[in-house]
């Protein structure tokens, strides 16, 4: 009788372990199904995921920074062009002595 009792508990533990594994598998499958259904609902509602929003926000911030840098460079180049045009105008203007002659 003593040898049957431990075997019974071993069998019971094996069945319980198998049941727990099956329940964990069912839970994982249910989570995956719910996640897939939610993703589909989000797609139908034209909603976006937070990761996608953050990526677009980062792209916009980078574009804004690039635009500001380009605007600053353009302002600098316009200033330099104005200086060069003023210097050329001075070179093209005849000296006062030539104007009197």
Could you report the per-residue pLDDT of 40-49, keeping only the tens digit for each? 887 888 878 8
The average pLDDT across 51-80 equals 96
- Report the b/e string of 29-62 with b at 16+ CB within 10 A: eeeeeeeeeeeeeeeeeeeeeeeeeeeeeeeeee
pLDDT band at residue 84 under the 50/70/90 scheme: very high
3-class DSSP state of 75: helix
Percentage of the chain beyond pLDDT 70 is 87
pLDDT score of 53: 93
Out of 27-36, 63-72, 77-86, least confident range: 27-36
pLDDT score of 55: 96
Would you kindly state where each structural domain of the chain is located, as residue ranges?
Answer: 8-47, 50-95
Q: Is the pTM of this model over 0.75?
A: no
Question: Which of the pair, 80 or 23, is modelled with greater confidence?
Answer: 80
């Amino acid at each position: 009788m003593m040898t049957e009792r431990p075997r019974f508990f071993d069998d019971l533990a094996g069945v319980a372990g198998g049941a727990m594994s099956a329940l964990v598998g069912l839970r994982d499958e249910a989570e995956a199904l719910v996640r897939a259904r939610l993703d589909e609902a989000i797609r139908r509602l034209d909603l976006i995921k937070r990761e996608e929003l953050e990526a677009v926000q980062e792209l916009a911030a980078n574009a804004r920074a690039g635009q500001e840098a380009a605007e600053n460079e353009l302002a600098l180049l316009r200033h330099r062009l104005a200086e060069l045009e003023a210097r050329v105008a001075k070179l093209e203007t005849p000296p006062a002595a030539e104007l009197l002659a």
